[in-house]
Chain A
């Protein structure tokens, strides 16, 4: 059976978010294997009011919400899809689990697990999926520990490994200048959405501790929307970091952010990349290592399994969100200690820390061709199972039934 896939990537492939990156690079591979007419992209973030086209595939509009399941399920039915793949968060889903539990939708969740434990309300939402494909080994272990029988081996999201490669800093003078970096300053990079869960505040506190302790010439380029869930500029000002932080141009950020080609240069300028949130995946640390730059991550979530060149920090405690989802809280003191370690190693070396091993790790494990092949296995198996397990009421076809249906019996 050939798949007709409704891909709920949430963000349009042309945007710059992690969701967009995933759709942008993986879907052409799926389209080449299964036919681009058989891949329908649901992208409520950006695509509104009309059906669009992208790389020979239809882009279906959303309506009211980023997770607009109402339209999603209408699309599934209207376009005669036989497989739905959702990407990322599963906890906001409401209608889909009900329909999946009655086999009305064959649902594979490529799922981010960025919480501690397994709250019952989330467990009930993800149980009906035909397969849960975690973003990470961490997620796979958590889902298996919860006793879910539908967990598949993890598939990491990929990276454009042709684009994400080390560049000599000497060729990036203009970018260094724009980021506020100097050749001999200690240059920190944070790339994160302005969401509370990204724990930017704790990382800013760590940078202040580090700076006050070492008196180092430290610079931070904070690539985020300055005004979002937090006022990050107010945070930095309050912490006395106003002269340390450079922000991106807000106009460009609001227009969809910077192209990947630019971000490759940005990462290549950094001495260290901070990402101390509990991540379902964590693109920034992967991107950092793709260009050989070390990372500081949190020792909870997907961070440790993605880090071959960097330092893990231990959490300070736990925050519990309204949906009973708990996440590890970053520890500013631990992060500051990790910064000190990185700074000392850099001073000892006398040049930016770079790791060919980290570059190899990314090149060997994260190319989109490699990721796509793992997906082919999952999708092909789903199509086989769809037939084997009768995922819809089989059409009656036997004359034995049809003859009797039209034979009148009267008493």
Chain B
């Protein structure tokens, strides 16, 4: 979703974009935006550096090529991980590093403080404000999305449900531990088409998100907020670390709508 918005904006601005996959035969030569890049090899980047090709590293997770990159434990082995000396020179050589939120960058700098000196841009995940908006209908109860994954806060969300037995909690997304009974006030809806999410948010009063691992952004949080939900989260939600989220819906609408534009302005400046 994020990449698509940025790609469309890039084309609109007249860039001749070529979408390259790790399996493609890549003819190096032009500036590159590396979206996440966990599947590209170290040698690929080393060759790009050797040829002096400008690249922007657009990070979506943590730690390149780490198999646990969706989690962010800040565990002791993370600080001495063998991947760091391999990838740090590649990250340091980027013309620009793009993170999804202030929290995302802050978390990265815990493990890679060397990157503090590098040029960066913060780009919130774009959300279409025409698709996610308040329909003005009656609301009740609480909704959580993808919260049954452990790193997304399964423990905290189910604990919250137990502590609020009289509040109905709708949990959207697959339950990876189906044999564990959910509290009686929880309803699990495994699969909801994306096009129906706005209507679903609009039936709920509160969006709950309590992850246990830092989340780079969490677009569901932004979508629910634009759809009129009150948001109840914690300080591990990247979206909530953006100041504009505390300035009202209009500020959020503007920031998320304009994110692709700001993204390309930063890329164009970095790559000349």
Which of A260-268, A295-303, A374-382, A391-399 binds B? A391-399
Encode A378-411 as 1/0 by CB contact (under 8 A) with B: 0000000001111001111110110111111111
Out of A390, A400, A407, which one reaches B81, CB within 8 Å?
Answer: A390
Taking the complex as formed, is A103 at the interface, i.e. its CB lies under 8 A from any CB of chain B?
Answer: yes
Residues on the B chain within 8 Å of A103, using CB: 67
Interface flag for B194 (CB, 8 Å): no
CB-CB nearest in chain B for A387: B77
**Chain B positions within 8 Å of A409 at CB level:** 231, 233-235, 237, 240
Whether B74 pairs with A398 at a CB distance below 8 angstroms is yes
A390 with B214: CB separation less than 8 A = no
Q: Answer yes or no: B263 CB below 8 A from chain A CBs.
A: no
A394-B232 in contact (CB<8A): no
* Bound CA span A274–B181, Å: 61
- Chain B: minimal CB distance from A240 (Å): 62
Known contacts A390-B66, A390-B68, A409-B235: A397-B74 contact under CB 8 Å = yes
A43 CB to closest chain B CB (Å) equals 29
Interface size on B, residues (CB 8 A): 32
Contact residues of A: prevailing secondary structure: loop
Contact B246 A396 (CB under 8 A): no
Could you give, for residues 47-86 of chain B, a 1 whenever the CB lies within 8 Å of some chain A CB and a 0 otherwise?
0000000000000000000111001111111100110000
Closest chain-A Cβ to B212's Cβ sits at a distance in Å of 5
Which A residues touch B237, using CB under 8 A?
Answer: 409
Q: Which residue of B lies closest to A389 (CB)?
A: B82
Please give me the residue from chain A that is nearest to B72 by CB atom: A401
- Residues from 233 to 252 in B contacting A, C-beta threshold 8 Å: 233-237, 240, 245-246
Question: Out of A389, A407, A410, which one reaches B232, CB within 8 Å?
Answer: A410
* Contact between B246 and A411, CB atoms less than 8 A apart: yes
Q: How far is the CA of A408 from the CA of B237 in the complex (A)?
A: 10
B93 CB within 8 Å of chain A: no
Is B220 an interface position by the 8 A CB rule?
A: no
> Would you give the shortest CB distance from A104 to chain B, in whole angstroms?
12
Q: Which residues of A contact B246 (CB under 8 A)?
A: 411
- Chain B residues within an 8 Å CB radius of A394: 68, 71, 73, 75-78
Given that A390-B67, A397-B74 are known contacts, is A404 also in contact with B231, CB under 8 Å in the complex?
A: no
7 additional A-B pairs beyond A103-B67, A401-B213, beta carbons within 8 Å, are A394-B75, A397-B73, A398-B75, A398-B110, A404-B235, A405-B211, A409-B240
Interchain residue pairs with CB less than 8 A apart (28): A388-B77, A390-B66, A390-B68, A393-B71, A395-B73, A395-B75, A396-B73, A396-B213, A397-B73, A397-B74, A397-B75, A398-B75, A398-B110, A401-B212, A401-B213, A401-B214, A403-B235, A405-B210, A405-B212, A405-B235, A407-B235, A408-B233, A409-B231, A409-B240, A410-B232, A411-B225, A411-B230, A411-B245
Query: B residues bordering A, Cβ < 8 Å?
Result: 66-68, 71-78, 81-82, 110, 156, 210-214, 225, 230-237, 240, 245-246
**Which A residues have a C-beta under 8 Å from some C-beta of B?**
103, 387-390, 393-398, 400-401, 403-411
